[in-house]
Chain A
């Protein structure tokens, strides 16, 4: 299939889906299956048009079509502009093959550099998600259940300050903190615990700390709002019945806060796996995080189809993670995005 075939697909699929739903609703209205006012009757023409145009532009031109055209591009060979749409512009799995096996001229059997970076990114993101959950759960619980209104306001304000400092500056703060002449090394040297400065950044400790730090609040806020809606009496009752504290958390608080836990975990994982700033600023010279590789496919190698394929691989792994979390917690998507 040629390029026009692909483009027809990109435009055609969403259009067909929209037409299908439209026809379905028109059919049901005619058959009297749905009652009540029609869309334009209910909103009036002007407001109705605004709603249709705004949502239509958003859904099609901002969300769906770009994603589809990225997927479409990932199945194409890299060609000079003149040959695009020509006979050589056919669907191919080349870009995905490259991710697994590397260039055809390389001697090793697998593309270890990229595969390792991918595995590292996913593994570390999961570890950081768990670490952040453990770190944030107590404070979220404290804020939601046992602190007074005035204290809560101060805690929230303290939490909000780092929230709006952008990712690059947060990563930069860790570089200042952990560099070989930084304050941590000076403190350790001064106390005599070490004799030589520790290379935190080279050992990637800086990267892991920076990532955990950057997305700490994405864990605190969902947890806080989920635990907050729990009735205090339930905890009291459990305690009166003699439940030990870890029982109360495991069997009363956590089941109630399930949507918040799931939403915090998916957010932190997704942001870690897709982080670009922290790896650029904090990663050691030998570390390869997956997102900078994707970036380089575009703006160093100028191989856009390959970059699109790599981006799609990252997207798929995020979707798989979200679905796994939903399955694990037995939740629906609507419950975690509140």
Chain B
């Protein structure tokens, strides 16, 4: 829609405003992390300091919360990715008539508000552990992992499903014809094919878990994660220490996003090379000019 110069100028203004709205608040918070006043302040700049960062690292509660958050993130990855994988495989095998009901059930956590997932997890496991005499399972970290897994598994399933739908069933049949067993097919054909999707799912699962607040605040009970400690701090009052934490998260995100982008580009390039090599081998074979190249 770039017809007239007026429209073009209007659109440029819109783009600037949009990104100002998107990144401005983060930039403002970022600056306040390096400014000396006690209350997060952007202007005037009274002096450059790194004190807020050292205060952040000296903060016992924050560091404890960070450790818990990292643990929960790792556990959620370990649970959600296998569940998402199983969910996706079952989706492709289940009878069409049951499929829509199954889909509705497993996708519903994505469309359920986070606090409701947290509440229902706590309510159910309190009753269940009391009833079965397994009260030791009624633990903040376990409940948070279970609660977060409900919707993070659904994210993983959707990512894996997208790739699984491109899986060529002929590959599996060929392997079976050649005498492979089912576990071997799963291990040597399906998993390698799904590997990029599994990796993406694991990253998404960890990040979603790490930044989650709504489900966690209910399910964590008396324990603490980084986000719940943070929420407590923010409610007590504003301090540049919080801005310092935000700066670290933004920097880690940017570095991670760039690394992921590079990895993906390399993986795409490698896949492209393999595809070209395979096509070339096929052409050669059809032309009968050379021995078929080994895959």
A residues within 8 A CB of B199? none
Chain A residues positioned under 8 Å from B123 (CB to CB):
66, 69-70, 73, 304, 308
Segment with Cβ contacts to A, from B53-61, B88-96, B266-274 = B88-96
Interface check B39, CB cutoff 8 A: yes
Number of interface residues of B (CB under 8 A): 93
Residues in B whose Cβ lies below 8 Å from that of A291: 113, 115
Flag whether B70 is at the interface (Cβ < 8 A): no
Given the interface pairs A54-B82, A157-B258, the reply to whether A276 lies near B109 with Cβ below 8 Å is no
Contact partners of A248 in chain B: CB under 8 A: 1
Question: Nearest chain A CB to B151's CB is how many angstroms away?
Answer: 9
- Please tell me if the beta carbons of A70 and B119 are within 8 angstroms of each other in the complex: yes
- When A162-B23, A172-B238, A172-B242 are in contact, do A70 and B29 touch as well, CB less than 8 Å? no
Q: Does B214 contact A (CB under 8 A)?
A: yes
Chain B residue contacts of A179, Cβ below 8 A: 238
The stretch of A38-46, A90-98, A99-107, A109-117 that contacts the partner chain: A38-46
- In the complex, the answer to whether A177 meets B25 with C-beta atoms within 8 Å is yes
Is there an interface contact between B249 and A169, defined as CB atoms closer than 8 Å? yes
Which of the residues A62, A168, A183, A186 comes within 8 Å of B213, measured between beta carbons?
A: A168
Interface pair A314/B87, CB less than 8 Å apart? no
CB contact between A162 and one of B26, B100, B238 (< 8 Å): that residue: B26
Contacting residues, chain A, for B153 (C-beta < 8 A)? 58, 62
Interface residues of B in 10-44 (CB under 8 A from A): 11, 14-15, 18-19, 21-26, 28-29, 32, 39-43
With an 8 A cutoff between CB atoms, is A1 at the interface? no
A251 is an interface residue with CB less than 8 A from chain B: no
Q: A59 to B102: give the CA distance in the assembly, Å.
A: 9
Residues of B contacting A7 with CB < 8 Å?
127, 131
Distance of A313 Cα from B3 Cα, bound (Å): 49
Whether A126 sits at the interface, judged by CB under 8 Å, is no
Bound-state CA distance A315–B211 (Å) is 22
Q: In the bound complex, what is the Cα–Cα distance between A146 and B228 (angstroms)?
A: 42
- Tell me the minimal C-beta distance from A121 to chain B in angstroms: 11
Point out the residues of chain A lying under 8 angstroms from B183, CB to CB. Answer: 44, 46-47
**B245 in the interface, Cβ–Cβ < 8 Å?**
yes
* Set of chain A residues within 8 Å of B11, measured between Cβ atoms: 138, 142
With known contacts A44-B182, A273-B113, A281–B234 Cβ distance under 8 A: yes
Q: Is residue B218 within 8 Å, beta carbon to beta carbon, of the partner chain?
A: yes
Decide if A67 is an interface residue (CB 8 Å cutoff). Answer: yes
How many residues on the A side are at the interface (Cβ–Cβ under 8 A)? 92
- The residues of A that contact B18 with a CB separation of less than 8 Å are 135, 139
- Those of A220-275 within 8 Å (CB) of chain B: 245, 248, 266-267, 270-271, 273-275
CB neighbours of A64 from chain B (8 A): 105
**Given A168-B213, A176-B29, A213-B25, A63–B105 Cβ distance below 8 Å?**
yes
CB of B158, distance to nearest CB on chain A (Å): 7
Q: Would A276 and B103 count as touching, CB distance under 8 A?
A: no
Shortest Cβ distance from residue B44 to the other chain A in the assembled complex, whole angstroms: 9
**Residues of chain B contacted by A167 (CB below 8 angstroms):** 211, 213-214
Contact (Cβ within 8 A) A311 B116: yes
Within 8 Å CB of A182, what residues of B? 42
A284-300: contact bitstring with B at CB < 8 Å (1 yes, 0 no)? 00000001001100100
- CB of B111 within 8 A of CB of A266, answer yes
On whether A162 and B86 interact (CB within 8 A), knowing A70-B119, A183-B43, the answer reads no
Q: What separation, in Å, do the CA atoms of A66 and B116 have in the docked complex? A: 10
Tell me, yes or no, whether B150 is within 8 Å of chain A by CB.
Answer: yes
**Do A176 and B113 touch (CB < 8 A)?**
no
Q: A119 in the interface, Cβ–Cβ < 8 Å? A: no
**Contact A298–B119 (Cβ < 8 Å):** yes
Chain B residues packing against A (C-beta within 8 Å): 1-3, 11, 14-15, 18-19, 21-26, 28-29, 32, 39-43, 82-83, 85-87, 89-90, 93, 95, 98, 100, 102-117, 119-121, 123-125, 127-128, 131, 146, 149-150, 153, 158, 162, 181-183, 186, 207, 210-214, 217-218, 227, 230-231, 234-235, 238, 242-243, 245-246, 249-250, 253-254, 257-258, 261
Show the binding face of A for B, using Cβ within 8 Å: 7, 21, 25, 34, 39, 42-44, 46-47, 50-51, 54-55, 57-59, 61-67, 69-70, 73, 135, 138-139, 141-142, 146, 153, 157-177, 179, 181-183, 186, 213, 216, 245, 248, 266-267, 270-271, 273-277, 280-281, 291, 294-295, 298, 304, 307-308, 311-312, 314-315, 318, 322, 333-334, 337-338
Ranked 6 nearest A-B pairs via Cβ: A274-B113, A44-B182, A54-B86, A166-B211, A66-B120, A173-B25
